[in-house]
Amino acid sequence: MPATSLSCRVCATEHPLEVIGTCTRCFGPLDPAYDWDRVRASATRERIEAGPASIWRYADLLPVAAPEEPRLAPGFTPIVPAPRLAEEIGVRELWLKLDTANPTHSFKDRVVAVAARKAQEAGLTTLACSSTGNLAGAVAARAAAEGLEAAVFVPADLEPEKLTAAAAYGPTIYAVDGHYDHCSRLSVELSFELPWGFVNVNLRSYYAEGSKTLAYEIAEQLGWRAPDVVAIPIASGALFHKVGQGFAELRSLGLIDGVAPSLVGGQAEGCQPVATAFREGTTVTPVRPDTIARSLAIGSPADGDFAVATARETGGSIHAVAENAIGENMALLARTTGVFGETATGVTLGALRAAVEAGDVRSRDRVVLLVTGDGLKTPAPVAFTYAPVRIAPDADAFLDEVLAAA
């Protein structure tokens, strides 16, 4: 394992590779530091391509050792062309990265797999998290696969489809009276009191690294070439920032040539602290979420300012998407590609369309859109598409009356 320490992203203070949430000096976020000479020697295209069809093919680029017997291994999800949607929105080439193919149908399986490995290395027996839904399912499923206990803290009014799916794995679900930021604050406080592995608190340094595997896979699956643009939803900002970091690392290691892609981020209009900060050139100011895109409803995003910096560094942009456009974009994706993404994907597609209209994305660009979660978890925004034609069980009447009148 090439990771050598944890380094503060703000003040660069080094910490040991332990279960620790923030820098002990300035409370900044911690990132794993690597022995890059060792990584260059081991992380070759050939070695990666010979690895397992999961995130563990990139073990040389992760801060934990790959499991000897991977269970429910996520990653290496399909990337598929979307020519009809590309024509609809006005780009030359569009690909969909389908993280709906992960074990619990969202990208969260990636980050939880890495965090859980660290929890096991540290001898922790309970995985925990605060969640807007997808993470709850990923933590519960990973705990079930590994024989661990699971405890998840979620807003009490979360979509029942997500909570039912998570409950099936047998976790203890704590429904918190409040929104996600209340859950997050509670889990931070409890992380100091309980010997649990809170994947997005005291294991966050390891958890967030799992997002980089999306960049690794996209580059490899496109023939070790970076696309021109990657469209990504923004909640805490960690996914957006880490995907940018992943592409930068591939360039530094010589695994891809040329420039890294521009990153386009999306937030829902009812919870847009990062989009506002990007648009107004300010730091992120917390807001009270009021959006149907519950998986993105984080009013105080921990990595929001880093997401803004990543957008600027990559020549990208961040856009807010109107609430009434989220379901329309989910439906557009479904009817032009056969892929049903959740509300976060409706936001991501809306942001990409806005970037094209603003000229941030060119018509000649090669674009990848992340489908981070399954639409079956959030079907309500596309309920307007359900308009069945009621008919009698009579073939003659169908042919003579229904079809003739169409």
Residues 152 and 224 in one domain: no
In this predicted structure, what is the pLDDT of residue 211?
98
CATH number at residue 336: 3.40.50.1100
Whether 257 has a pLDDT exceeding 90, the answer reads: no
d(CA 336, CA 328): 12
What mean pLDDT is predicted for residues 327-341?
98
Total domain count for the chain?
2
Of the three residues 207, 234, 262, the one that is the final residue of a domain is 207
Is residue 138 assigned to a domain? yes
- CA-based nearest residue to 60, from 80, 32, 79, 87: 32
Q: Are residues 309 and 267 in the same domain?
A: yes
- On whether both 239 and 216 belong to a single domain, the answer is yes
Looking at the predicted structure, is the pLDDT value of residue 56 above 80? yes
273 in the same domain as 349? yes
Predicted confidence band of residue 76 (pLDDT cuts 50, 70, 90) = very high
Q: Residue 50 falls within a domain, yes or no? A: yes
Over residues 185-230, the pLDDT tens digits come to 999 999 999 999 999 999 999 999 999 999 999 999 999 999 999 9
Q: What is the pLDDT of residue 160?
A: 82
The region of weakest confidence among 87-91, 161-165, 339-343 is: 161-165
Domain that holds residue 231: 79-104+211-385
Whether residue 406 has pLDDT greater than 80: no
In a domain, 395, yes or no: no
Percent of the chain with pLDDT over 90: 94
Residue 72 lies in a domain: no
207, 235, 264: which is the final residue of a domain? 207
Residue 140, pLDDT > 80, answer yes
One domain, residues 261 and 151? no
Tell whether 393 is covered by a domain. Answer: no
Per-residue pLDDT tens over the stretch 267-309: 999 999 999 999 999 999 999 999 999 999 999 999 999 999 9
242 and 161 share one domain:
no
Domain identity same for 143 and 183: yes
Q: Mean pLDDT over all residues of the chain?
A: 96
Of the candidates 164, 190, 207, which is a domain's last residue?
207
Same domain, 178 and 226: no
Q: Let me know whether 380 and 243 are in one domain.
A: yes
162 confidence band (pLDDT: 50, 70, 90)? confident
Give the strands of the sheet with 79-81, arranged side by side. Answer: 79-81, 93-98, 366-371, 229-233, 262-268, 317-321
What pLDDT was estimated at residue 377? 92
Query: β-strand 366-371 against 229-233: which pairing, if any?
Result: parallel
pLDDT for residue 158: 85
- pLDDT, residue 159, reads 81
Q: Report the range of poorest mean pLDDT among 33-42, 99-108, 153-162, 192-201.
A: 153-162
pLDDT at 114 over 80: yes
Whether the per-residue pLDDT at 57 is higher than 80: the answer is yes
* Same domain for 219 and 185: no
* Res 136 pLDDT > 90: yes
Q: Are residues 163 and 28 in the same domain?
A: yes
Q: Establish if 392 belongs to a structural domain.
A: no
Mean pLDDT of 109-118: 98
Residue 324 lies in a domain: yes
Residue 280 counted as domain residue = yes
Same domain for 184 and 292?
Answer: no
